[in-house]
Amino acid sequence: MLLDAKTWNCWGEGGEAYILGIARVREARWAKHAEAATIGTRPGMIEDASVVRAIEQIAYSKGRRDEVPNQELARALARTRDTLGIAEIAKGLHHPTPAVRCDCIKVLYEIGYLRPELIAPYVSEFLELLSERNNRLVWGGMIALATISSRRAPEIWDQIDPVMETIERGTLITQIWGTRVLSGVASTLPKSRPRVLPALAARIETCDPRDLPLHAEGALPGVDELNRGTFAAILAGRLDELSEAQARRVRIVIRKLDPGR
């Protein structure tokens, strides 16, 4: 099995032997979801001919090593609110080729930036990606979850343990977007706050100074009235660690949390 540069780049460390070892599993899952699309067991799915039409537009199918085709496809699907086309791309998350899966999650979270309601039905697929060994799929899934976390808070809350574990051990991208996932859940699901808000507070208290503005901005929507003062105090206590530009961003968050400061 020969791998092109995009496939190797998508997998990062790892190797051909590992990919060969899971190829049959992926092929079986792909066949399963293709069958489900045909018989209508998954809402919005359509026949395999339509999957080919969608897959042909992603970067891998065009022989491209950049993300422009995926971004263009995402904009087109979002602009036309093409739920059937989005379902085709969501099915691609189960494709046996790793690079195809990477392109598909890219398309989906780009749609999430523009019209999150269009990818909200696929929350379970995004949660499944958090257990992948491929970091590209893990943080791609986390970004997708962040765009819909306030809309699908109950489903994410049901899986809060693996979500928080993934954030804790994840890459910087996973952690930053994980903050937004937790914030979205806390903003709309009050019962989650006793668990989620301490985790967010710990993140902004211990993260690298250079990452503090992103975590502070991401956490802000989820902080309720009762905890605003606490979060503002944590951020204010770290201002001396920051550059002038970083401190400026954090001060904006502090003022939103506690206008009296």
Q: What is the pLDDT of residue 260?
A: 79
CA distance linking residue 233 with residue 178, whole number of Å: 22
Taking residues 71-93, report their average pLDDT. Answer: 95
Cβ neighbour number for residue 258 with a 10 Å cutoff = 16
Q: What is the pLDDT of residue 21?
A: 43
Which sequence spans correspond to the domains of the chain?
1-148, 152-261
Cβ neighbour number for residue 12 with a 10 Å cutoff = 10
Q: What is the pLDDT of residue 55?
A: 80
Q: What is the pLDDT of residue 53?
A: 80
* CB 214 within 8 Å of CB 249: no
Q: What is the pLDDT of residue 37?
A: 39
Distance set, CA 111 to CA 38, 114, 150 (Å): 24, 5, 16
- Record the pTM: 0.81
Phi-psi region of 13 (alpha: psi -120 to 50; beta: other; left: phi over 0): beta
Asked whether residue 101 carries a pLDDT value surpassing 70, the answer given is yes
SS3 label, residue 121 = helix
Phi-psi region of 82 (alpha: psi -120 to 50; beta: other; left: phi over 0): beta
Asked whether residue 77 carries a pLDDT value surpassing 90, the answer given is yes
Give per-residue pLDDT as tens, 140-161: 999 999 999 999 999 999 999 9
Give per-residue pLDDT as tens, 171-199: 999 999 999 999 999 999 999 999 999 99
Nearest C-alpha neighbor of 193 from the set 166, 226, 230: 226
Give per-residue pLDDT as tens, 16-67: 333 334 444 444 455 444 444 332 333 333 334 344 488 889 999 999 989 9
Taking residues 155-172, report their average pLDDT. Answer: 97
* CB 182 within 8 Å of CB 170: no
* CB 184 within 8 Å of CB 153: yes
Taking residues 211-225, report their average pLDDT. Answer: 98
Q: What is the mean pLDDT of the chain?
A: 85
What percentage of the chain reaches a pLDDT higher than 70? 80
